[in-house]
Amino acid sequence: MTETISVLVNGKKITSEVEPRLLLSDYLREKLDLTGTHLGCEHGVCGACTILVNGRTVRSCLMLAVQVDGCEVDTVESLTEGDGMLSPLQQAFADNHALQCGFCTPGFLMTITGFLENNPDPNDEEIKQAISGNLCRCTGYTNILKAVKQVSKSRKLKEVVKE
């Protein structure tokens, strides 16, 4: 038994036949070959599979593909700009050595993308709290914190310049 779903994935409309039990994470990775979204625990704790659904962060291992019928889904592949340039957040990760093995990184990037949309000027505690649902085993987190601060600071600067 399959269902037809229609999803806007990274700005592109995609229609698929899926089994109702297919996880959203497996749909993205196995059917659409968007392997940037990673699976670390498949029980909703590690955060490696975090993506945006209608602009809100979700764990794609805890959602079914049929649930995103008619939704907008953004994965880590959406962050790189059209010419392949890294986005300011991705660049900040590179600048601050905020990744080592890089496996958890896409989840962090998507969590932070969603977070900064709602809170563009966070303090340290707010950042820590925001990323506390993502586990990283390599970096010890502080460089990730620095990367987030670099981005929010540059955003702030931009706003000042605009004014």
Partner 1 sequence: MTFTGKNIKRKEDYRLLSGNSQFVADMQEPGMAEALFVRSEHAHAKLNKIDISKAENMGGVYSVIIAEHFNGEVDQLPPHSEFTLPQNLIDEINPIIQPCPEDILAKDRVIYVGQPIAIIVADNRYIAEDAAELIEIEYESLPSITDPYKAMEQDVDIIHEQMSSNIQAQFDLSTGNYDQALKDSDNVLKERIKTPRVAANPIETRGILSTYDSRNGKLQVWSSTQVTFMVRKYISKLLGLVEHNVRVVAPDVGGGFGSKCAVYPEEIIIPYLSMKLDRPVRWIEDRMEHLLSTRQSRDQTHDVKVSYNNDGTITGIQDYFVLDNGAYNPLVLTCSYNTAAHLRGVYDIPNFVIGGNCVVTNKAPTIAYRGAGRPEAVFVMDRIIHLVATSLELDPVEVMMKNMIKPEQLPYDSGLIYRDGEKVIYDSGDYPDGLKQALELANYDKFRKEQKKVKSDGSYVGIGISSYVEGTGIGPHEGAIVRLDSSGHVMAFVGSAPHGQSHETTLSQICADEFGLDPEKVTVKAGDTDLIPYGVGTFASRGAVTAGNAVHVASKKLQEKLLAIAGEILEISPSDLEMNDGKVFPRAMQNKYVTLEDLALAAKPGPKCKVPEGMEPGVEATHYFVPPTVTYSSGYHVAIVEVDEETGFVDILKYYVVHDAGKVLNPKIVDGQIQGGVAQGIGAALYEELVYDDNGQLLTGTYMDYLIPTAMEIPDVEMDHQEFLSTRNPMGVKGVGEGGTISPPAAITNAVCDALNPLDIKLNDLPISPSKLRQRIKVAKTS
Neighbours of 104 (CB within 10 A): 23
Closest CA to 18 of 33, 8, 6: 6
Closest CA to 13 of 69, 83, 82, 80: 69
39 touches partner 1 (CB under 8 A): yes
Total residues binding partner 1 (CB under 8 A):
59
CA–CA gap between residue 98 and residue 85 (Å, rounded): 18
64 touches partner 1 (CB under 8 A): no
36 touches partner 1 (CB under 8 A): yes
46 touches partner 1 (CB under 8 A): yes
Nearer to partner 1 by Cβ, of 129 and 159: the residue is 129
153 touches partner 1 (CB under 8 A): no
Instruction: Give the C-alpha distances (Å, rounded to integers) separating 44 from 2, 23, 34, 40.
Output: 25, 12, 19, 9
Per CB under 8 A, residues contacting partner 1 are 19, 21-22, 26, 29-30, 33-43, 45-46, 48, 75-77, 79-80, 84, 86, 90, 93-95, 97, 99-106, 109, 127-129, 131-145
